[in-house]
Chains A and B, each alone.
Chain A
Amino acid sequence: MNIPLVLMALGGILVIEGVMLLICFLYSLLFEGGIRSEWPQLWLSCFIPTIGAGFLLTLLGKGADRSRVFRREAFAVVSLGWLICGAFASLPFLLSPLTFAPWDALFEAYSGLTTTGATIVTDLTLLPRSLILWRSILEWMGGLGIIILFVAVLGFFGIGNRALFSRESSALADSDMATRFQSLSFRYLLIYVAFTIISAGGLLLCGLDLFSAVNHAMCAIATGGFSPHNESIAFYPDISVHLWITLSMFVGGVAFPLHYAVLIKKRLGVLKENEEFRFYAFIILFVSSVIALDLTFNWHEESVSKFRCMVDSLFQTVAIMTTSGFVSADYDQWPPLSKFLLLGLMIMGGCAGSTSGGMKVSRFLVFGKTALRHLHLVYRPHLVKRLKLNGKVLPEEDINGVIIYFAIYFVLILIGILGLAFLEPNLRLTSTFSAIISSINNIGPALADVGPTKNYAALSPFSKLWLSAFMLIGRLEIYAILLLLLPSFWKRF
């Protein structure tokens, strides 16, 4: 392990986080009283240790051999980077006068950073606006991955960017799109910023104030799901807000390489050719129609109009499938078919290479194709069939990789459920498994006791840490975190 280099990289990540804290400090300074006020001082006391630690680590890693960046180093940077980033991100919660317990602060920070959007805050109106902004910034940073920010903005490494890039969960890079990964990730960042601005602009036109517009835009494009309001999106009666946020989340759930091809390379045809995108769009249309029908026929709630049901089913389908977890209606009250569909979408998630979590649509496509092929092979063992995704042949190793991923994923979900059941004996069964599924797939709200109108505040400290761990595991697509537990990963020889 090239430890100096890992330290240097981690330092770089903390410096970026420090810059983000500085934004909150400036906001607080401008809108929440002068330098002598309580909140600006708090932000300063978070900013200084973070940026200090960042520079210290960079200093420790000075003179690192930049040519030695292999998978091991890449995995270490990614997993440790998220861990440390989350720890420092919890500082503002921890130091605030609003009695956040350490586990609560960590839960909130990791929930933000992994774009989960689960919260332990029962009443958001008690939080200062700068802290609300911090939650949104965390999600926004987590959305495209701190690592991309790091690679794009600082470009510390001469070599090894490629290794880092492909370890980062939200950037399953389409390797032939550009040779220079630094410029490629910089372009992704540009697209990301542009989308956020457009989304915020749209929300302004829908009548939101600037603060809410920016916060919602950041959380929607990042498919995070933190809202400044206790009622989430249901706070707004205006349908146009719902639809615009639906669109923002949808865009966030599409692969960034695809955005790049369409917007920068101007190749519109790829949208039609891209199997994953087509399937993603199809699933959203199909499931939202089924839910709308289910609500029409099986849900006898007179107070909600049929039109509203349709909008809600579309919104909730997109919010869950892109793993945002915004809430426009209390779907926990919906009939069982709808609830199970949403639970299934939680596991599926958005496109690979997007800001969303979950298992990713492409993995499901590969899994489905492989399963179908295997059915044929059961009775015709001599048949030879190569599988393709998006017109490209899938190597057999990749197919095996997907199958193994599925297996590990479901074993982890099982372990998570067992652990949570042990820690929370009073939780209902639905709540237990939906909480784990919601966490590992980075959605946020789950069902029943931790449903869309509830929060995670009532859980025990250990369960909060347990859930945070699963958020991180899901966000980094399993391996990065599991590797840290492997003794041989750390051994010299």
Chain B
Amino acid sequence: MKIVICGIGEVGSHLARLLVENGHELVLVDPNPDSLSSIEETIDARIVIGSATSATTLKSIGIADTDIFLCLTSDDETNLVACSLAKALGAREVIARYHAPARQDHELFSYSDHFNIDYLVSPERLTAAHLAREIRSPISPVLDQFARGSIEVAQVELSENCPAVDFPLMDLKLPLRTRIGLIQRGSDVLIPSASEKLQANDQLILIGSPRPLAEAARQLVGEKKEKRFRLVVYGANDVTIALIENFNAFDVQIKVIEPDRARCEWISEHYPWVNVVEGHAIHSQLLIEENVMEADVFVAATRDDENNVMSCLQATKLGIRPSLLVIHRPDYAGILTDIGDILGINATVSPRIVTGTELLRYITTKPYVVLWEMNRGGAQIIRIRLKAESSDIFGKKVRDVVWPEHALLLGIERADGTLMPTADDTIEQNDALMVLVLPKSRESILKLFASAL
């Protein structure tokens, strides 16, 4: 495939290397010769110095026959405009990077539809989602979220004295807009039917809107009087904000430590329930004064790798076992994976790698995109865009479609938002369907919609 990447920073260069390894034809565009010179000699790709928002530049690189156009600069406006322009000039798919808080209103308004962008990716959000996944805890963490944050995937484990055990699903009366998508029982993974009875030690994958989902998780596990989960985050930036929003619906006490006064005030203003402390988390005095050792998890998420490592070491010394950190530089990632155990660091998350992995899912010739994949068993949530001009399936009600076994329709994405469909909703042209499938049922789903792809 022919792929264009604009904005060759930390994320862009990593992705470029991955794509070249996979044998794609690559064009790299950046207005700054310095950022290109470092990658120029080590990569087999065409290098163009120029602005991504200029039609001249885009035409000169042959945008019309480009399969995928990615704009990954640090500036949201540049990304939106460049992608919109590229699409208009004939790129098949366009992907834009955005920053989490700047587009906080994206549930209100669909920027991607307005600018004709196929996928918006936020490395900060992905990093936060990854961190949240790592923070396994008494509460059920959100594993993933998509459709602009309006649908989330969460996991709960049923113990023996949970109230839901031995009930068939249809008697559970879960909150609206939530579903039990998967049951993992021993080594089996199944998409349950309504008559399926829950058993102790089942791992349930729940899918739904954030708040009802949290409620459903609580209902399934029962109101356990667990102590509130305590989280300390060092650094207040886009990752922190996405992390706070990830835990929004849960009973989590969050303390943010940040040296910059203005950022502190921003967090305090928008998330009044978060404790904001001004200071450096590398000072052990401050950590002790703020009782950080009482926390369950320490996350270092500043933009400065050295500070992240040092603060994690301080936290470990104070006795917080799970400490996670964000690492930006590729040079450090290797070392920390090797000696992380010795240092007492539980996990490192790199925005570069997380984003690269996520984008690779989208860069595919297949008619669907894998949104989420379970570690074992291979259950997937896939997103199918119904782009065909016409098909006999358009206009049909969900109940009239003959769904294959082991497949569950989770959501329909439209220009005006995402809905969790009921049996009476219809399927329309240009919808994107989110379907939970097992490997054996994936092909039959694709066959079902073959005429509409």
Residues in A lying within 8 Å of B, measured CB to CB = 380, 382-386, 388, 393
Q: Which residue of A lies closest to B263 (CB)?
A: A384
Tell me which of B265, B267, B268, B286 contacts A382 (CB under 8 A).
B286
30 A-B interface contacts by CB (under 8 A): A380-B277, A380-B289, A380-B290, A382-B277, A382-B278, A382-B279, A382-B286, A382-B289, A382-B290, A383-B275, A383-B276, A383-B277, A383-B278, A384-B261, A384-B264, A384-B265, A384-B267, A384-B268, A384-B276, A384-B277, A384-B278, A385-B268, A385-B272, A385-B276, A386-B265, A386-B268, A386-B269, A386-B272, A388-B269, A388-B272
Are A393's CB and B290's CB within 8 A? no
Closest A residue, CB atoms, query B255:
A383
Residues of A within 8 A of B278 (CB): 382-384
* Cα–Cα distance between A249 and B216 once the two chains are bound (Å): 48
Fill in one digit per residue for B244-280: 1 if any A CB lies within 8 Å of its CB, else 0: 0000000000000000010011011100100111110
Cβ contacts under 8 Å, A386 to chain B: 265, 268-269, 272
Contacts of B261 in A (CB 8 A): 384
- Could you say which residues of chain A place their CB within 8 Å of the CB of B286? 382
Instruction: With CB as the reference atom, state the residue of chain A lying closest to B258.
Output: A384
| B117-158 interface (Cβ within 8 A of A) | none
Chain A residues in 8 Å Cβ range of B268: 384-386
Q: Which residues of B contact A383 (CB under 8 A)?
A: 275-278
- The chain A residue with its CB closest to the CB of B277 is A382
Q: Which residues of B contact A393 (CB under 8 A)?
A: 269
Across-interface contacts of A385 in B (CB, < 8 A)? 268, 272, 276
Give the residues in chain B near A384, CB-CB below 8 Å.
261, 264-265, 267-268, 276-278
* B interface size (C-beta, 8 A): 15
Given contacts A382-B290, A383-B275, A393-B269, 7 further A-B contacts (CB under 8 A): A380-B277, A380-B289, A382-B279, A384-B265, A384-B267, A384-B276, A385-B276
For B269, list chain A residues within 8 Å (CB). 386, 388, 393
CB neighbours (8 Å) of A380 from chain B are 277, 289-290
Across-interface contacts of B279 in A (CB, < 8 A): 382
Query: How far apart are B121's CB and chain A's nearest CB, in angstroms?
Result: 31
* Top 6 closest pairs, chain A to chain B, by CB: A384-B264, A384-B276, A386-B268, A386-B269, A382-B277, A382-B279
Chain A residue with the shortest CB-CB distance to B261? A384
Cα A384 to Cα B276 with chains together (Å): 5
Q: Give A392's nearest chain B residue, CB to CB.
A: B269
CB distance from B282 to the nearest CB of A (A): 14
Identity of the chain B residue whose Cβ is nearest the Cβ of A393 in the assembled complex: B269
Q: How far is the CA of A385 from the CA of B266 in the complex (A)?
A: 9
Q: Which of B261, B267, B268, B286 has the most CB of A within 10 A?
A: B268
Residues 267-320 of B at the A interface (beta carbon under 8 Å): 267-269, 272, 275-279, 286, 289-290
Closest A residue by C-beta to B267: A384
**Residues of chain B within 8 A of A388, CB atoms compared:** 269, 272
The smallest beta-carbon distance between B279 and chain A, in angstroms, is 5
* A382 CA to B285 CA, complexed, in Å: 12
Assembled-state Cα–Cα distance A386/B289 (Å): 21
* Distance between Cα atoms of A388 and B279 in the complex (Å): 23
Assembled-state Cα–Cα distance A120/B272 (Å): 52
A384: nearest chain-B partner, CB-CB: B264
In the bound complex, CA of A368 to CA of B276 (Å):
20
List of A residues within 8 angstroms of B277 by Cβ: 380, 382-384
Question: Would you give the shortest CB distance from B328 to chain A, in whole angstroms?
Answer: 25
Residues of B within 8 A of A382 (CB): 277-279, 286, 289-290
- Cβ of B410 to closest chain A Cβ, rounded Å: 33
Instruction: Chain A residues near B264: list those with CB within 8 A.
Output: 384
CA distance in complex: A386, B261 (Å): 11
B353 to chain A, nearest CB (A): 32
> With the chains together, A45 CA to B278 CA distance in Å?
69
Contact partners of B276 in chain A: CB under 8 A: 383-385
State in angstroms the CA–CA spacing of A383 and B276 once bound together. Answer: 6
CB distance from B272 to the nearest CB of A (A): 7
Measured CB to CB, the closest approach of chain B to A388, in angstroms, equals: 7
Of chain A, the residue at the smallest CB distance from B257 is A382
B275 and chain A: residue at smallest CB distance = A383
CA distance A386 to B268 in the complex (A): 6
* Cα(A382)–Cα(B278), bound, Å: 5
Closest Cβ of chain B: how far from A253's Cβ, in Å? 28
Nearest A residue to B268, CB-CB: A386
Q: Distance in Å from the Cβ of B132 to the closest Cβ of chain A?
A: 24
Contacting residues, chain A, for B289 (C-beta < 8 A): 380, 382
- A residues in contact with B272, CB < 8 Å: 385-386, 388
Q: How close is A383's CB to chain B, nearest CB, in angstroms?
A: 6
> In the complex, how many angstroms separate the beta carbon of A67 from the nearest chain B beta carbon?
36
Measured between alpha carbons, how far is A386 from B286 in the docked complex, in Å?
Answer: 21
Complex Cα distance, B268 from A383, in Å, reads 10
> Shortest distance in angstroms between A185's beta carbon and chain B's nearest beta carbon?
31
Fill in one digit per residue for B349-366: 1 if any A CB lies within 8 Å of its CB, else 0: 000000000000000000
Cα of A388 to Cα of B269 in the assembled complex, Å: 8
**Which residue on B lies nearest to A396, using beta carbons?**
B265
A382 to chain B, nearest CB (A): 5
Shortest A111–chain B CB gap in Å is 44
* A475 CB to nearest chain B CB (Å): 34
The complex places the Cα of A388 from the Cα of B268 at a distance, in Å, of 10
Question: Nearest chain B CB to A390's CB is how many angstroms away?
Answer: 14
CA distance A383 to B256 in the complex (A): 10
User: Complex Cα distance A388/B273, Å?
Assistant: 12
How many angstroms from the CA of A120 to the CA of B313 in the assembled complex?
A: 77
| Docked complex Cα distance between A384 and B277 (Å) | 6
**What is the CA–CA distance of A388 and B270 in the complex, to the nearest angstrom?**
10
A388 to B289, CA, bound (A): 27
Bound: A224/B278 CA distance, A: 48
A379 closest partner in B (C-beta): B289
Bound CA span A21–B184, Å? 86
A386 to B236, CA, bound (A): 15
User: Bound complex: CA of A94 vs CA of B73, how far in Å?
Assistant: 78
CB distance from A228 to the nearest CB of B (A): 50
From A383, A384, A385, A393, residue with most partner B Cβ within 10 Å: A384
CA distance A4 to B268 in the complex (A): 48
| Nearest CB of B to A79, in Å | 36
Distance A357 CA – B277 CA, assembled complex (angstroms): 39
Tell me the smallest distance from the CB of A385 to a CB of chain B, in Å: 5
| Alpha-carbon distance between A380 and B290 when the two chains are bound, in angstroms | 8
How far is the CB of A397 from the nearest CB of chain B, in Å?
A: 14
For A388, the closest partner residue in chain B by CB is B272
Question: Which residues on A sit within 8 Å (CB–CB) of B290?
Answer: 380, 382
Quick one: closest B residue to A383, CB to CB?
B277
Q: How far is the CA of A477 from the CA of B92 in the complex (A)?
A: 65
Name the A residues within 8 Å of B275 (CB-CB).
383
- Bound together, the chains give a CA A435 to CA B7 distance in angstroms of 72
Q: Nearest chain A CB to B104's CB is how many angstroms away?
A: 16
Bound-state CA distance A384–B255 (Å) is 11
Nearest-neighbour CB distance to chain A for B315, whole angstroms, equals 17
Q: A383 to B267: give the CA distance in the assembly, Å.
A: 12
